[in-house]
Structure 1
Amino acid sequence: MKQLLASFLVVFLLALPGAAQAGSVTLKGSDTMVILGQRWAEEFMKKNADTKLQVTGGGSGTGISALINGTTDICMSSRPMKEAEREKLRSRSKTPGTEIAVAKDGVTFYLHEKNPLSSLTLEQLKGIYLGDLTNWKEVGGPDAPIIVYSRENSSGTYVFVKDNLLGGEDYSSRAQTLPGTAAVVNAISKEKNGIGYGGAAYAKGIKELKIKAGSEEIAPSTDNIKSGKYPLSRDLYFYLRTPPTGEAKAFIDFVLSPDGQQIVTKVGYFPVK
Structure 2
Amino acid sequence: MKKIAESTIIAIILLGLCSCNSVKTTELKDSNPVTSQTDSQDQKLIKIGGSSSTVTVLKLLAKGYESQNKTVKIEFISNSQSEGVIAALKNNIIDIAGSSHKLKPEEDNGKIQYREFAQDLLLIATHNSVKGVNNLSTKQLKAIYKGEIKNWRELGGPDANIVVLDRPEDESAKKLLRKYYLGEDKTTTKAVILNKEGELIETLQSTPNSIGAFSLAYSLINQLPVNHLSLNGVAPKSQNFSSGQYKMVRRIGILWNKTPSAATQNFIDFILSKEGEKLLQNNGFVPTK
Which bracket does the TM-score occupy, shorter chain normalised? 0.7 to 0.9
Alignment of 1:67-146 (within 5 A): 67-77=89-99, 79-81=100-102, 86-90=104-108, 93-94=109-110, 97-115=112-130, 116-146=132-162
Number of the residue aligned with 2:241: 225
Residue segments in structure 1 that go unaligned for 5+ positions in a row: 10-21
Partner of 1:210: 230
Q: 1:189 to 1:42 in 2, by over 3 A?
A: closer
Shift of residue 153, structure 1, vs aligned partner: 5.7
The CA distance in 2 between the partners of 1:197 and 1:243, in whole Å, is 37
Q: C-alpha offsets along residues 86-125 of structure 1, whole Å, 9 cap, x if unaligned? A: 23323xx245x53322222110011122321101123322
- Kindly report the root-mean-square deviation, in angstroms, between the aligned alpha carbons of the 2 structures: 3.1
User: Normalising by the residue count of structure 1, what TM-score does the alignment of the two structures yield?
Assistant: 0.75
Distance 1:153 1:63 in 2: 19
Q: Deviations over 1:155-187 (max 9, x none)?
A: 433443344443356543322123543433333
Deviation at 1:70, TM superposition (A): 4.5
In structure 2, give the amino acid aligned to 1:175: A
| Gap runs ≥5 in structure 2 | 1-31, 37-42
Query: Residue in 2 aligned with 1:25?
Result: 46
State the Cα distance separating 1:24 from its structure 2 match: 3.5
Write the distance in 2 (CA, Å) between the matches of 1:123 and 1:165.
8
Is the contact between residue 173 and residue 250 of structure 2 (CA under 8 Å) also seen in structure 1? no
Alpha-carbon distance in structure 1 between the residues aligned to 2:88 and 2:171 = 14
Residues paired across the two proteins, number: 246
| Correspondence for 1:198 | 214
Give, in whole Å, the separation in 1 of the partners of 2:179 and 2:50. Answer: 19
The SS at the match of 1:48 is coil
TM-score, normalization: structure 2?
0.71
Alignment match of 2:177 (pick from 156, 161, 169): 161
* 1:231-268 Cα deviation digits (max 9, x unpaired): 21232211335486733332122112222122223433
Alpha-carbon separation, structure 2, partners of 1:43 and 1:127? 42
Matched, 1:36 2:52: no
Question: What do residues 21-65 of structure 1 show as CA deviations (whole Å, max 9, x unaligned)?
Answer: x95332212323323212322232343344432224334343344
